[in-house]
Amino acid sequence: MGGVAVLARQAGHKVTGSDAAVYPPMSTQLEQQGIALMQGYDATHLQPAPDQVVVGNVMTRGNPAVEYMLNSRLPYTSGPQWLAENVLRDRWVLAVAGTHGKTTTSSMLAWILEYAGLKPGFLIGGVPANFGVSARLGDSPFFVVEADEYDTAFFDKRSKFVHYHPRTAILNNLEFDHADIFENLEAIKKQFHHFVRIVPGEGLLVVNGEDENLADVLRKGCWTPTEFFSENKIISNASNWRSENVSTDGKEFTVTLNGESCGSAHNNLLGRHNRLNALAAIAAARHAGVPVAQSIEALKHFKGVKRRMELRGELNGIRVYDDFAHHPTAIIETLSGLRAVAGSARIWAVLEPRSNTMRMGAHKQQLAPSLAQADKVLMYQPEGIDWDMQSVVDQIGDKAGLLRNIDDIVAILVKEARPGDHVLVMSNGAFGGVHQKILDALKK
């Protein structure tokens, strides 16, 4: 929604917005764009009456602003619908969907197009370091959008991505998530197939060739040319894009297309998942006319995304990272990528289970195994979680602890972390500013 606000502002509209507990980097971006932000959802925020209210999907009936909007018969729409009608119409849309990696892959793709001189527009659920903003209108037909499967609004329960009508679509992976929205994995597959149905026959699907669930989606019907990407296990025999000859730290690899080498790539990001993200971005950019060699060169200059394995600082030889991981698979991949460069050095995993799915306990059986590669685990139990997080800590064993106070987490790290340690903080929220608190305490 912050990105939609930025696009509306760039299109020349006067934009104001209401939200609760906004934190960087989005709050900073909104201020820099001259967008007035009001805390909370008071009905007076909609006075005088705006020409259009764009409603975010966290808004529900009973919310004071929503009730006032409906009672006053103010014109309203959803963020995805506004985007489709005001920005995406007549654009070549490159949409990135999947349970994991949407933000990073979208950022890579937008940067490759930018590096190639195509000046794309984009809307991304994070802030790519190469651009410093999460959204812009762009100066060309090309528009990259992070295509989320979450529902659209309280009045439109379809997944957001069905509004985007892409010509090029990436399907990164598919797992069960968003337990507050979807009953089961089959319900998510159904929405993904709705997405597949709207990609034109002259378009392109770029699909993870290792993902059984995506293969199942395609078996329901596919009317668009498809290219697959993979590294290890290949489900589809038609896997076109591969990453091979991977270096020990995982950052150097050969890109192959149909068995032929396209060149040696350098990826500044850690982990196998980011090599797959890179392959997907290269394939999608090629569909938009960017030569593979140019995409490989662009990747060398890709700076990553804020809050995606972002190194927040290093003090006393202790590195502190901020990562958005909030699903067991993402935790595994993130830890695996860090382990490849950390070697035998200690890794502290500091986890806040903040997503709705995590808070409901839907992934509690997978949490302990997902943290296996960490040497020390500090789990934070925020208020409002009614499942037994101690059971996860017990499964992990002596190397894990459960904390209910952020200052206690900081105190333990200051006391026990030593030079050479890597502190990986994982949450899809602000986590009480724990990253900076750790760095400040280490400095003292």
Read off the tokens for 240: 């076109």
Read off the tokens for 390: 């101690």
- Tell me the pLDDT tens digit for each residue of 115-154: 999 999 999 988 898 998 899 999 999 999 999 998 999 9
Query: Given this model, what pLDDT does residue 369 score?
Result: 85
Residue spans of beta strands (DSSP E) within 324-391: 347-351, 376-380
Q: Which of 354, 355, 347 is nearest to 382 (CA)?
A: 354
- Tell me the pLDDT tens digit for each residue of 288-298: 999 999 999 99
Question: 124 with 3: CB under 8 angstroms?
Answer: yes
Angle (nearest 5°) at CA 210 between 206 and 215? 70
Q: 184 - beta bridge partners?
A: none
- Tell me the pLDDT tens digit for each residue of 193-251: 999 999 999 999 999 999 999 999 999 999 999 999 998 666 555 669 999 998 888 88
Q: Which helix (H) or strand (E) holds 177?
A: none
Q: HEC string of 83-128?
A: HHHHHHCCCEEEEEECCCCHHHHHHHHHHHHHHCCCCCEEECCCCE
Q: Quick one: 202 exposed, middle or buried, by C-beta within 10 A (0-12, 13-18, 19+)?
A: exposed
Q: Which amino acid is at 303?
A: K
Question: How many residues in total does the chain contain?
Answer: 444
Q: Which amino acid is at 184?
A: N
For residues 299, 304, 309 and 314, what is the CA-based torsion angle, rounded to 10 degrees? 100
Tell me the C-alpha to C-alpha distance, in Å, between residue 321 and each of 250, 308, 334, 347: 18, 9, 11, 11
CA 280 – CA 268 distance, rounded (Å): 16
Question: 61 with 86: CB under 8 angstroms?
Answer: no
Q: Which of 299, 357, 284 is nearest to 327 (CA)?
A: 357
Backbone dihedral angles phi then psi of residue 371, each to the nearest 5 degrees: -100, 10
Q: Which helix (H) or strand (E) holds 18?
A: strand 16-19
β-pairing, 121-123 with 142-146?
parallel
Q: Which of 146, 115, 75, 160 is nearest to 291 (CA)?
A: 115
Q: Which of 355, 337, 364 is nearest to 424 (CA)?
A: 337
Q: Which residue has the tokens 């006053």?
A: 72
Query: Given this model, what pLDDT does residue 136 score?
Result: 95
Q: Which residue has the tokens 């050479």?
A: 420
CA 66 – CA 347 distance, rounded (Å): 45
CA 272 – CA 275 distance, rounded (Å): 5
- Tell me the pLDDT tens digit for each residue of 348-360: 999 888 766 666 6
Average pLDDT over the chain reads 89
pLDDT in tens, the chain (444 residues): 999 999 999 999 999 999 987 777 778 888 888 898 899 999 999 999 999 999 999 999 999 999 999 999 999 999 999 999 999 999 999 999 998 889 999 999 999 999 999 999 999 988 898 998 899 999 999 999 999 998 999 999 999 999 999 999 999 999 877 666 777 889 999 999 999 999 999 999 999 999 999 999 999 999 999 999 998 666 555 669 999 998 888 889 999 999 899 999 998 887 788 899 999 999 999 999 999 999 999 999 998 887 777 888 888 889 898 887 767 878 887 888 788 788 889 999 998 887 666 666 666 777 888 888 899 989 888 877 777 788 888 888 889 888 888 888 989 998 888 999 999 998 877 787 888 888 888 888
Q: pTM (2 decimals)?
A: 0.80
Question: 377 with 426: CB under 8 angstroms?
Answer: no
Read off the tokens for 399: 């190397």
CA 9 – CA 196 distance, rounded (Å): 31
Domains and CATH numbers, the chain: 2-74 (3.40.50.720), 81-299 (3.40.1190.10), 310-443 (3.90.190.20)
CA 199 – CA 95 distance, rounded (Å): 10
Question: 356 with 123: CB under 8 angstroms?
Answer: no
